[in-house]
Chain A
Amino acid sequence: MSVLIYVNHQNGKIKKSTFETALYARKVAEMLQTDEVIALSLGQVSDEALTLLGNYGVTKVLSDNQALFDHFDAGVHTKALASAVEQTGATAIIISQNSNGKAIAPRLSMRLKAGLVSGAIELPIVNGNTFTVKKSVFSGKAFANYSILTPIKIIALNPNSYPVVKGQGLAAVEQFNSGITASDVKIKVKEIKSLSDSVPLPEAELVVSAGRGMKGPENWGMIEELAQALGAATACSRPVADVHWRPHHEHVGQTGITIRPNLYIAIGISGAIQHLAGVNNSKVIVVINKDPEAPFFKAADYGIVGDAFEIIPKLTQAVKAFKAQNN
């Protein structure tokens, strides 16, 4: 019996979501009274980087570094994962519910005839062979506790749902033959456009977001400055993306990206229910709006009623002063 995780990496660098799933898997392994947390790495990552997954509770890494894996094809990665499950006898598989995870986890679930809870937000309750897993439903307006009824269980963990604390230990790295060949690849990646150097929104712990209250795209410099001072990602509301003040990939909300950062600062966003659906699982919400009746204040932990154009520069200065004092 073991717990298996899928390694997310980009340009050879292991992503934070992998550390999160590794630590989560370590706890699941303890509940299952096994010591084995195995990671499957597909594509080119150095053995040295993989060994360091031991810092996050991984005992062994299976690595198939064929170039075939460098471009993502959900069918190919699913087949390789299924092969790893078969070879290791893993009974629980933990995958991050990020863009690749959303493609792999459901495929793997059907391939292995294994129950999947996607978008899990907490550790499962393990009772014998039964897992009960909590996930967010109704666009963040409720939670549901799912029981997985199959012998093999798959959990796709929402990003930023489990704390990442680096520990000690080194994982053993073994070369793995997943059996994938070029004929398995059905999706040809033509181009990858990197959107920015900053942290991707779903992974960001701090997010500064703004809406129509900013009056125009020319005023976003102060939002970016505040975000930069905080070390935060930037986001926006739907109307702002619709009129192309900001790119669509920054749009958070029901039809955009769903996020759950530690801190979400909403500036000049009234807080329509569709926007809240994308951010209401944030741990702390700060709202800055000149309208004291803006519905977002009802969902906020902290609020400032006032003119954003006056408040943001002062807030940015305050952040810089705080950072200077605390770094």
Chain B
Amino acid sequence: MKMLVCISKTPDTTAKIAFTNNNSTFDTNGVTFIMNPTDEWYALVRAIEIKEQTGTGSVTVINVGPKENESIVIQKALAIGADNAVRIDAVPDDAHFVAAQIAAHAETENYDIIFTGKETIDYNGSAIGGMVAELLNLPYISLANSLQLINATTASATREIEGGIEEVEVAVPFVISAQKGMAEQRIPNMRGIMAARTKPVKVLPPKDFSPYTSIVSYELPPARTQVKLIDPEHPEELIRLLHEQAKVI
């Protein structure tokens, strides 16, 4: 299987979120960036597992972003076990732009499976997989929590649906977005870190594409009022407040 894994750079989960330029720009000062967790823990690791199980094929990671992303996310992906990497040298304007860049690379490479994480933890769009699938005219399995190869041309997966789990079968090539259950997180070891330094990273110029959306401004949510504590001996008071004050029951 020739596999492509889309990886994104996101602020660390614990990062303090602040904005500058009259709330039009995310303030990256002091923010630690990481590989997006669902891309890393589930999509990338499952692709590597499939390669290990079949004993053939390759895992390429792709990132749309500036050179600094090579040290922040690409090297880690290679250390975990990807074979090579592609970086599209561009600022990732919006999801449409990013998907167009990935699809432009993928359409010449004939990947069997293209993986994404279920969403990034910064813009929470859940959009790249579907967009890439449409641009390449491929089937798309979203929110998948397992993926197994049946044979060289067919795979089965389970995906989350409202109130249930669906088991599906699909022929390669296809696009899949991975979530919890797909694989277990892997920590890169020293051997992997050393090997990553010799693995190839191809840098490509971006395809010309005008974004479909732009962020006008950011806002922080209003601070919650201080918690109102209720006497544990009288939980019925909570029910009264939820009914009369909060009006949620």
Contact = CB atoms under 8 A, between A and B. Distances in A.
Contacts of B232: 304-307, 310-311
Interface residues of B, number: 82
Interface stretch (B45-53, B80-88, B157-165): B157-165
A196 B38 CA distance: 26
A152 to B, nearest CB: 10
A188 B248 contact: no
A78 to B, nearest CB: 7
Interface in B170-209: 170-171, 174, 179-181
A311 B11 CA distance: 39
A144 B215 contact: yes
B168 interface: yes
Nearest to A316: B235
Interface string A8-49: 101000010100000000000000000000000000000000
Nearest to A131: B213
A19 to B, nearest CB: 14
A213 interface: no
B127 A118 contact: yes
Contacts of B243: 322, 326
9 contacts: A102-B130, A107-B131, A143-B218, A147-B216, A149-B210, A258-B124, A283-B248, A303-B230, A304-B232
Interface of B: 11, 13-15, 17, 19, 37-38, 41, 95-96, 99, 121-131, 133-135, 137-143, 145, 156, 159-171, 174, 179-181, 210-221, 224-225, 227-232, 235-236, 238-239, 241-243, 246, 248-249
Given A146-B215, A251-B180, A298-B224, 17 more contacts: A72-B166, A103-B142, A116-B212, A137-B218, A138-B17, A139-B124, A142-B220, A146-B214, A189-B166, A192-B166, A248-B181, A284-B242, A301-B224, A301-B228, A302-B230, A305-B229, A315-B238
